[in-house]
Amino acid sequence: MRIPIIVRSLVQSRRYKNFCVSSGILLTLYSSFVPVVAQETIAPLPPLESGSVLTDANYTVGPGDRILISLFQEENYTGEHIIAVDGTVSLPLVGNLKVSGLSLAKITELVTQKYAQYLKRPVVTLKLIAARPLKISVIGEVQKPGSYEITFQENQQFPTVTRLLELSGGITISADIRQIQIQRNIDGKKEVLIADLWNYLQQGDESQNIILRDGDIIFVPTANQIDMAQANYLDDVTFGIQAPEAINVAVIGEVYRPGTYTIESEQTTPKSATITEAIQLAGGIKPLADIRQIEVRRQTRNGSQQTFKVDLWELLKTGDTNKDIILQKGDTVVIPTANQLTAAESSTLATASFAPTTIRVNVVGEVNNPGLIEVAPNTPLNQAILAAGGFNAERSKKNSVELIRLNPDGTVSKKDVSIDLASGINETNNPILRNDDVIIVKRSNQASVSDGLGMLLTPLQFIFPFLRFLDNN
């Protein structure tokens, strides 16, 4: 590349050289009076600690917060400030600034703008030293909805969603923990954050356990459907379904003692009340209970009613404990009547843990100890006779008895049963007994004749002495 002649002449001239020397001196002198800011190599920031008090630029300032405002190389304007009750902060040179309701980032911008009117290119940094007590509301499907105040101590972290749910007594069974809403005001604008706590529990996603701020409102919505497995899982989670000291529930339908019951929680190992516990308190199921179609009616926090089906037959056949659902305060358990049950199904129901532990059977007639006896469910007829002392050897008819049964529909059935003490359980000779069955052991023919003659001869016992008296006189 060729340099133009005029440029080359200028560079080679003595006047240009003198100008360069003079300019260099001036630049050197000027630079000695101008502060030079060293360029630091900024290391990558460490990951934010969950719940950190000091590192969130979106933190909304309010009365009682203590902040540090620093101006680079301006110590006179650097210092700590407490936000006043009216939401203002008093700064040197600038005066009072309204900062309540603004984020730390927004306040940094505001302070920078104000000092820029007096200082050249002010570099402002702002840090939260101590946070004010937080007021956070929890509403929806929690045990104790309301407003909670969190007071900070030194180096304490901000609370998270799970911490506030724990403080509010835990969630209810109807809670939808996949769609928890956190309503927040940032710089005067309302934002709604969604927390999926099921993902937090299953995948360990800490981002779902959102850090809370003053004024946040946590809304736990009602689930459209109840997931039995999830409900049982949440029974063991710290912010989950926490067993209250006692709950009141109603049990109606095919149970022996329908009504309202209080289920107490065990003090040593607190656990939530289940549907089978409620049925047991109500005396157990009746023989014709339809445990495949049990209903649970529940009043949700938003005032609506949920109704869902429970199949306890699956619990008996497969051992699926998720079918033994957890109840909450105010639930109503409805046990309908089955249209038809097989003998095998009746036998299975009779031995279920939520069936009565004993049944009452009345054995009357020619047994050694007649009267009302209590026997275990599924007790056969032969065993009940033995429990009543067995047949009266001299007077009983040992080859058959009469079985009277009060049916659930109000009718009474009566049948003769041929007795075979060596026979196993069967409907013909040794049927399974039900609650309130009556067994009548009749007299033998010989006993009947003897009793008949006795009735005829009894009046003669009074006549013969009278005749002897007349004969002697």
The confidence band for 4, taking pLDDT boundaries of 50, 70 and 90, is very low
**Residues 83-112 pLDDT 10s:** 898 889 888 888 898 988 888 889 999 999
| Single-letter amino acid, residue 113 | Q
Does the structure show a pLDDT above 90 at 182? yes
Q: Which domains does the chain have, with CATH numbers?
A: 66-130 (3.30.1950.10), 134-234 (3.10.560.10), 246-350 (3.10.560.10), 359-442 (3.10.560.10)
Mean pLDDT of 146-160: 78
Does the structure show a pLDDT above 90 at 333? yes
The confidence band for 179, taking pLDDT boundaries of 50, 70 and 90, is very high
Mean pLDDT of 337-364: 83
Do 417 and 429 meet the contact criterion of CB atoms below 8 Å apart? yes
Does the structure show a pLDDT above 90 at 426? no
Residue 259 bridge partners (DSSP): 251
pLDDT at 30: 34
Does the structure show a pLDDT above 70 at 270? no
Between 168 and 28, the higher pLDDT residue: 168
Q: Which residues contact 429 (CB under 8 A, 6 or more apart)?
A: 417, 418, 419, 420, 423
pLDDT at 166: 92
Mean pLDDT (the chain) is 79
Mean pLDDT of 140-150: 91
Does the structure show a pLDDT above 50 at 278? yes
Does the structure show a pLDDT above 90 at 243? no
Mean pLDDT of 261-275: 73
Does the structure show a pLDDT above 90 at 329? no
The three-point CA angle 106-108-112 to 5° equals: 120
Does the structure show a pLDDT above 90 at 261? yes
Does the structure show a pLDDT above 70 at 23? no
Distance in angstroms (rounded) separating the CA atoms of residues 80 and 132: 15
pLDDT at 32: 35
Mean pLDDT of 257-279: 80
**Residues 112-144 pLDDT 10s:** 998 888 888 888 888 888 888 888 999 999 989
Between 176 and 2, the higher pLDDT residue: 176
pLDDT at 469: 57
Do 129 and 115 meet the contact criterion of CB atoms below 8 Å apart? no
Q: What percentage of the chain has pLDDT greater than the value 90?
A: 26
pLDDT at 325: 85
Mean pLDDT of 147-158: 75
Does the structure show a pLDDT above 50 at 356? yes
The confidence band for 29, taking pLDDT boundaries of 50, 70 and 90, is very low
| Token pair recorded at residue 456 | 């005829």
Does the structure show a pLDDT above 70 at 244? no
pLDDT at 39: 29
The confidence band for 456, taking pLDDT boundaries of 50, 70 and 90, is low
| Single-letter amino acid, residue 364 | V
Query: pTM value?
Result: 0.60
Distance in angstroms (rounded) separating the CA atoms of residues 420 and 217: 74
- Strand 400-406 and strand 66-71: pairing? unpaired
Count the neighbouring beta carbons within 10 Å of the beta carbon of residue 452: 10
Between 406 and 283, the higher pLDDT residue: 283
The confidence band for 438, taking pLDDT boundaries of 50, 70 and 90, is very high
Between 392 and 268, the higher pLDDT residue: 392
Q: What percentage of the chain has pLDDT greater than the value 70?
A: 79
Q: Which residues contact 448 (CB under 8 A, 6 or more apart)?
A: none
Mean pLDDT of 179-185: 92
pLDDT at 424: 82
Q: What's phi and psi for 312, nearest 5 deg?
A: -80, -15
Do 395 and 449 meet the contact criterion of CB atoms below 8 Å apart? no
